[in-house]
Amino acid sequence: MRDLLVTPSMPYLMLALAGALLAMLGLTLMERVPTPAALSARAGRLSATGRLLAGQAAGGALVALFLLAAAASGARGGARALLLCGALAAYLSLGLLLPRLPERRRAREAVALRQLTPGFIAFVRVALGSFESPIEIMRRYVARPYARLAPMQALVAEALQIGTDLRLRPFAALAHTARSRGCRELSDVAQALAQAEAEGSPVEAVLAAQQATLELILQGEFKRMIRRRTIYLLLMVAISLVVGILINLLFVMTRGGSVFTHLG
């Protein structure tokens, strides 16, 4: 390890590692909900396949750098193992994990929006029953930030901004924004609201039916999740019980380990 730290290539290796860590930090601290213009520009520049290829190239370059440092320094033992682990970590992080972060964030956001859709429907139904305008409904929904409602409030705030920029009706802007989030249930609700807003027809019955259906679906999924977790917990308890019994039997059969002492 001491020889590795005094090799001539170590400063360049540390600079390369620092640059890779700064790039990872920048990707991690990237805004979660960018502006629509930046989002469309970024999507047009680099697709999922492009991100994967770029990550593979960056990870391969770092792997080559680590392997070159290991070969040039003549590292042995722990130093060589450290460099090989660094190469593996660089490839896994830059080549596999970071390129898939946007898809994972999008999937998590879609799940969160799906869970928040029944509450949003109830809020809109109550507001429409009070004869509030769509723009006031959406403004009142984002007036008080709540951490639990943050994904839906961010979507509604973006819809308000898009409606102002593109001169769309409030619910039409909401439908336009919801289509880019990947949540089919929210898209259906927003489309129904936009259609009712354009035609001037009541939408309470449609919203009530969609709310009831979505609540039943979410309740069923929650029950299945609880059932799966219960099965996993019972399985872990059973495995631990069997392992404990086997250990106790082995302890008794070997007379507290004295058999192995005599064998040695």
Domain stops at, among 69, 103, 137: 103
Same domain (yes/no): 45, 27 = yes
Global pTM reads: 0.63
- Identify the CA nearest to 189 among candidates 208, 170, 215: 208
Question: Do 114 and 94 share a domain, yes or no?
Answer: no
Does 95 lie in the same domain as 110?
A: no
SS3 93: helix
* Residue written as token pair 């970071």: 98
Q: Which pLDDT score, from 0 to 100, does residue 11 have?
A: 63
Looking at 84, 103, 122, which one is the last position of a domain? 103
Q: Are residues 77 and 43 in the same domain?
A: yes
pLDDT confidence tier of residue 157, bands split at 50, 70 and 90: very high
Same domain, 211 and 177: yes
Q: What is the pLDDT, as a whole number, of residue 238?
A: 92
Same domain, 120 and 170: yes
Give the pLDDT confidence score for residue 204 in this predicted structure.
Answer: 77
| Mean pLDDT over the full length of the chain | 79
What does the radius of gyration of the chain's CA atoms come to, in whole angstroms? 28
DSSP structural state of residue 162:
H
Distance of CA 30 to the CA centre of its chain: 13
Q: Are 153 and 142 in contact (CB under 8 A)?
A: yes
Q: Are residues 110 and 142 in the same domain?
A: yes
Residue 37: pLDDT band with limits 50, 70, 90: very low
209 against 158, higher pLDDT: 158
| Of 246 and 43, the one with more pLDDT | 246
Q: Which residues of 227-248 are buried (b: 16+ CB within 10 A; e: fewer)?
A: eeeeeeeeeeeeeeeeeeeeee
Last residue of a domain, one of 71, 103, 135: 103
% of the chain beyond a pLDDT of 90: 21
Segments forming the whole domain that contains residue 182: 106-216
Instruction: State the total domains in the chain.
Output: 3
Question: Which DSSP symbol is given to 91?
Answer: I
Which pLDDT score is estimated for 42?
46
Q: How many CA atoms lie within 13 A of 118 on its CB side?
A: 12
* 235 & 249 share domain: yes
Highest mean pLDDT among 63-72, 74-83, 169-178, 247-256: 169-178
CA 60, CA 66: separation in Å to the nearest integer? Answer: 10
Query: Are residue 88 and residue 134 in the same domain, yes or no?
Result: no
Q: Are residues 80 and 110 in the same domain?
A: no
Are residues 110 and 212 both part of a single domain? yes
pLDDT of residue 79: 74
**Residue entry with tokens 């290539």:** 9
In this prediction, residue 200 carries a pLDDT of 80
* Domain shared by 189 and 251, yes or no: no
Say yes or no to pLDDT of 173 above 90. Answer: yes
